[in-house]
Chains A and B, each alone.
Chain A
């Protein structure tokens, strides 16, 4: 979204990390987290939520992050890899 509020971005990144869309932050092997990687993570989250896959932290995406849900992560696997079966 246009210049989203820093708090919103921070909450969003925390949320994406919590639910497995982004690998957990690692101060030792601080890895670059390119914007493109963040956008990809947002797109996958939007797919799970049935939202348009814009890759942007837009208001609808942020609102969805606050919806009631299951505690478990959406994306399983150490580095946030998705072990999914393609039909």
Chain B
């Protein structure tokens, strides 16, 4: 490894993305999540923490996607060649800033050689932003030449050479497993005096029983809703608490008559969080309700219809709304339902009918949840992985394995393989 000779004196560094890629297939939401994971990689091996701040404040690390000459001494050169750079720590305004060439094809999890893996390059560049130079060690992330993707952002760990260099700069610490990505998670508000706190004796549902009403990926954290409660999983997969939080305590302004959230998703365009219940939905910015309840028909569903599941698919940026064995599609950019819907859910081969909800993991896969099981669809695929369904508990909620857990029922029926059938389902099946 090599050291730049400069280092941050503070241990909490702020960051902000000032400009996103204009042409990347990666949505701003995915870019933010990948960059927060890339920073978390360095936090995990040091005493550093990273906090994303909004644009008003002057952060330590300002991130830009830029092209050609962009007012610093490292003009980019179009696709290929130089990919990105970052400035070493210091007191100069540009210190720590990190620039990515917007003329590259930035990808995530791509298996072919097309494109440049954003997570891998971001980890490298943030190494510079912390004070590391290039390394000639064979497997170092700080090697100057692009070496391709480095695997799953949620489990990636720095190679030894880079850990050594980092600890020269910031001291030796044992790996901090809880270093969570810098995405500023939605933190609970100060308890409003009006509502009595949940006394520990208040009966709460058992997360290992599954049967969630809604599941949503909100800024890299997975929220699982059940009745007037919800659990949260941090991006690291850690449960914030085995005890669920109160729905109305957290989502400020949600009407008290709303007792169940039937579906939820985070809108990639503007980060708003949409909660659905009955024939209505509510829009939240952060945790605050924004405006009054809106009718579900705005998404193209027929009047009086409820919704089982809602998710935004990164593959095409469209929002999918599922009810029973049908689904509708909504174009967030045009702000109107797509024509030609509803369509049969069987187009999602292997998906369960009337799923409890659907969400996109931080690695870009699509997960259908129903009862105590989940079905995984690889990124961009509409065919369930062959090992689906799997029990939710052990994988997501730190619950005992199903064979020892009487609460786990057998997986429900799924959409048949795409073949015509004269099956006739009774109303109650």
Interface residue count for A (Cβ, 8 Å)? 22
> Is the Cβ of B144 less than 8 Å from the Cβ of A76?
no
> Is the Cβ of A74 less than 8 Å from the Cβ of B81?
no
Give every chain A residue within 8 A of B143 (Cβ-Cβ). Answer: 48, 50
A29 at the interface (CB under 8 A from B): no
> Is the Cβ of A19 less than 8 Å from the Cβ of B144?
yes
Minimum CB–CB distance for A73 against chain B, Å: 8
Decide yes or no: A67 and B133 within 8 Å by CB, A76-B5, A85-B3 being known contacts. no
B125 at the interface (CB under 8 A from A): yes
User: A82 to B125, alpha carbons, bound, how many Å?
Assistant: 20
Question: What are the interface flags for B209-234 relative to A under an 8 Å C-beta threshold, 1 for contact and 0 otherwise?
Answer: 00000000000000000000000000
> Is the Cβ of A84 less than 8 Å from the Cβ of B2?
yes
Give every chain B residue within 8 A of A73 (Cβ-Cβ). Answer: 134
B396 at the interface (CB under 8 A from A): no
User: A76 to B4, alpha carbons, bound, how many Å?
Assistant: 7
Q: Which of these, B5, B74, B104, B138, contacts A83 with CB under 8 Å?
A: B5
> Is the Cβ of B84 less than 8 Å from the Cβ of A71?
yes
B255 at the interface (CB under 8 A from A): no
> Is the Cβ of A72 less than 8 Å from the Cβ of B85?
yes
> Is the Cβ of B85 less than 8 Å from the Cβ of A68?
no
Question: What are the interface flags for B53-87 relative to A under an 8 Å C-beta threshold, 1 for contact and 0 otherwise?
Answer: 00000000000000000000010100011111110
Question: What are the interface flags for B265-303 relative to A under an 8 Å C-beta threshold, 1 for contact and 0 otherwise?
Answer: 000000000000000000000000000000000000000
Give every chain B residue within 8 A of A48 (Cβ-Cβ). Answer: 134, 136, 143-145
Minimum CB–CB distance for A55 against chain B, Å: 15
> Which residue of chain B lies nearest to A49 when distances are taken between CB atoms in the complex?
B145
Give every chain A residue within 8 A of B116 (Cβ-Cβ). Answer: 68
> Is the Cβ of B136 less than 8 Å from the Cβ of A47?
yes
Give every chain B residue within 8 A of A87 (Cβ-Cβ). Answer: 164
- A44-87 residues at the B interface, CB under 8 angstroms: 47-50, 64, 66-76, 82-85, 87
> Which residue of chain A lies nearest to B5 when distances are taken between CB atoms in the complex?
A83
Overall SS of chain A's interface: loop
Give every chain A residue within 8 A of B86 (Cβ-Cβ). Answer: 72
> Is the Cβ of A69 less than 8 Å from the Cβ of B3?
no
- B1-60 residues at the A interface, CB under 8 angstroms: 1-5
Question: What are the interface flags for B139-154 relative to A under an 8 Å C-beta threshold, 1 for contact and 0 otherwise?
Answer: 0000111100000000
Q: Which of these, A67, A68, A72, A85, contacts B134 with CB under 8 Å?
A: A72
User: A85 to B138, alpha carbons, bound, how many Å?
Assistant: 16
Question: What are the interface flags for B101-121 relative to A under an 8 Å C-beta threshold, 1 for contact and 0 otherwise?
Answer: 000100000000000100001
B373 at the interface (CB under 8 A from A): no
User: A82 to B144, alpha carbons, bound, how many Å?
Assistant: 15
Give every chain B residue within 8 A of A71 (Cβ-Cβ). Answer: 74, 76, 82-85
User: A83 to B6, alpha carbons, bound, how many Å?
Assistant: 12
> Is the Cβ of B3 less than 8 Å from the Cβ of A64?
no
User: A22 to B164, alpha carbons, bound, how many Å?
Assistant: 27
User: A19 to B116, alpha carbons, bound, how many Å?
Assistant: 21
B381 at the interface (CB under 8 A from A): no
> Which residue of chain A lies nearest to B84 when distances are taken between CB atoms in the complex?
A70
Give every chain A residue within 8 A of B82 (Cβ-Cβ). Answer: 68-71
Q: Which of these, A50, A68, A84, contacts B138 with CB under 8 Å?
A: A50
Decide yes or no: A68 and B3 within 8 Å by CB, A50-B138, A74-B144 being known contacts. no
> Is the Cβ of B145 less than 8 Å from the Cβ of A82?
no
> Is the Cβ of A69 less than 8 Å from the Cβ of B2?
no
Decide yes or no: A69 and B136 within 8 Å by CB, A76-B5, A85-B1, A85-B168 being known contacts. no
User: A19 to B133, alpha carbons, bound, how many Å?
Assistant: 12
User: A82 to B4, alpha carbons, bound, how many Å?
Assistant: 10
B128 at the interface (CB under 8 A from A): yes
Minimum CB–CB distance for A34 against chain B, Å: 23
> Is the Cβ of A83 less than 8 Å from the Cβ of B146?
no
User: A50 to B104, alpha carbons, bound, how many Å?
Assistant: 24
> Which residue of chain B lies nearest to A76 when distances are taken between CB atoms in the complex?
B133
Give every chain B residue within 8 A of A84 (Cβ-Cβ). Answer: 1-2
Decide yes or no: A64 and B1 within 8 Å by CB, A48-B134, A70-B124 being known contacts. no
Minimum CB–CB distance for A86 against chain B, Å: 11
User: A29 to B268, alpha carbons, bound, how many Å?
Assistant: 57
24 A-B pairs (CB sep. < 8 Å)? A19-B144, A48-B136, A49-B145, A50-B138, A66-B80, A66-B81, A68-B80, A68-B82, A68-B145, A69-B81, A69-B83, A70-B125, A70-B146, A71-B76, A71-B85, A72-B128, A72-B133, A73-B134, A74-B134, A74-B136, A76-B2, A83-B5, A84-B2, A87-B164
